[in-house]
Amino acid sequence: MAITRCPECETANRVPEDADGHPRCAKCKTDLAWLVNADDAGFDDAISTPLLTLVDLWAPWCGPCRMVGPILETMAAEFAGRLKVVKVNVDENQKTSARFHASSIPMMLFIKDGEVIETVVGAQPEHVMRSKIEGHLAG
């Protein structure tokens, strides 16, 4: 469970890995960024949401992965209430890595209703990720 500060009222909120709907501030009900870490055991629960889910398969030693991380944090905040970002460390979670054939990282999966709808391999600039998210949210 992560702690996220509300962008409106600054209240610290616990944000669960899985939740019905999406997380909102306990005080002012503002949609919160939903960015969680998942492991092999909890991965299916983490992606079980009606929201568009962006899975980031990454490793701490990967330079491009470290470049993508802040972009995904920004996207989670920008699309709060409509997007969930799930980060999976491939070194520590090899079952999930193998499940999606993650031979190159960073690898990002867009998932809707439990199905992968797009795979993006390699670091992408913020405007590209924003455009992809907007496209999936509109479709």
Catalytic residues: 62, 65
Q: Pick from 130, 41, 23: which is nearest to 78 by CA?
A: 130
In whole angstroms, how far apart are CA 11 and each of 74, 85, 123? 19, 21, 33
Q: Pick from 87, 106, 102: which is nearest to 47 by CA?
A: 87
